[in-house]
Structure 1
Amino acid sequence: MNIARLATAAGLALWAGAAAAHPGHESASFFSGITHPLGGADHLLAMLAVGLYAARQAGRQRWALPASFVLAMLAGAGLGALGIMLPAVEAGIAASVLVLGLLIAFAARLPVAAALPLVAGFALFHGHAHHAEMGEGTLAAYAAGFALATAALHAAGYLVGRWLPQSLWAQRLQRAAGALIAGAGAVFLGA
């Protein structure tokens, strides 16, 4: 399969996934918490992108970015549980996919003081959406599930990013992946 067909297939799959990104959840459980980030292309791409982005960073950013995302995501769910509403949650999630994809596409290295609040800010939206779609049940088990799934997606993105060699073709491949992620984010935003 050539690269154009692969890109077209991936784009169509992401576009279709955007329409069904958040199916209803009848009951909140550990299992439904695990499946929620995996069932929506927007959450899936953002979380993989955090891992990919972290893999090419230096020092403590490699672990601090994914860790701050998970913690801020839990805080976002907590805000939702307290009845504190965030504005434009779905737009914030879509923007996270777009911006993280662009950071990967341009091989950007933001300073820690900029990268951590950016990633954590996006994570608040993801966590708030997880809570909003929780259904009936306990937040603790559901949150443990989506936190675990998110950490696993970060780890998958990180491992792929670290596995790729520092060769020119691998850098181009990672940048192309970032561009595809950013393109999906633009679709999610309705651009």
Structure 2
Amino acid sequence: MKRLLAAAAATLAATPALAHHPLGGMPMETFAHGALSGVGHPVLGFDHLFFIAAMGVAALFTSARATAPLAYVAAMLLGCVAAIGGLALPLVETVIVVSLLVIGGVILSGRALALTPALALFAGFGLFHGAAFAGAITGQEAGVGGAVLAGYLLFLGVTQYAIAMGAQLAARTLLGAREAGSVNVRLVGAAVAGVGVFLALEILEAPLVAALGA
């Protein structure tokens, strides 16, 4: 539990600049640049990282623990490509916060998801996480070429699947997770939901302050 809280504190300490610019803001011009950005964004963006890891843990207790996370990966890539193409999903950051609250709550409940609801949940939130990841590409002033985009999408998908699988391995070996209702697994859910609450309060802070000052 101490290790879990320490990890949460460390990731919460990451600055927004670190989370959104793994290349330090340098232009992305090559396949390698795209690949590095694809690896860095899900790792350095703690909101994405917590969801992906929790999604992997939730998938662990479905009937398709190795393939269920692919529903998230596929939808995430689809959402990313759609956003790059100009499709704007509403309230992306808010939905990402909701995704943490929901997946954390599911794990905290101690109940295993049936496969179909799990796939729908993973894919639905994957679209919005993908739309957020698209900002790394669309934010480039000079645009990016096909090689950069290929590297970004490839490593974005591979990295997130690896995180989900790593979370499953950690849950089994470090936490001794054998069933969804085990205490250690539910503590993971509590930690992820707690991160969601923290981010929700950040979103609500500005309108609340404005309302109080009106």
- Superposition TM-score, scaled by structure 1 size: 0.85
The answer to whether the Cα contact below 8 Å between 1:50 and 1:65 also exists between their aligned partners in 2 is no
Give aligned-pair identity as a percent: 35
SS at match of 1:17: coil
Aligned residue number for residue 59 of structure 2: 54
- How far the C-alpha of 1:167 sits from its partner, in A, is 7.0
The number of aligned residues is 185
Q: CA RMSD in A?
A: 2.5
Aligned residue number for residue 20 of structure 2: 22
Structure 2 distance, partners of 1:165, 1:54, is 16
Aligned residue number for residue 63 of structure 1: 66
Code of the aligned partner of 2:56: G
Matched, 1:145 2:155: yes
Code of the aligned partner of 2:118: A
SS at match of 2:185: helix
Match of 2:102 among 78, 92, 99: 99
Deviations 1:97-132 (A, max 9, x none): 221111111122232232211110111111111111
In terms of Rg, which structure is larger? Answer: 2
**Tell me, which stretches of 5 or more residues in structure 2 are unaligned?**
205-214
Aligned residue number for residue 178 of structure 1: 189
Structure 1 distance, partners of 2:15, 2:69, is 23
Aligned residue number for residue 39 of structure 2: 34
Deviations 1:116-166 (A, max 9, x none): 111101111111111112234332211111111101101111112233435
- How far the C-alpha of 1:6 sits from its partner, in A, is 6.4
Structure 2 counterparts to residues 160-175 of structure 1, below 5 A: 160-163=170-173, 164-165=175-176, 171-175=182-186
- CA spacing shift, 1:18–1:41, aligned 2, 3 Å: farther
- How far the C-alpha of 1:15 sits from its partner, in A, is 3.2
Code of the aligned partner of 1:139: L
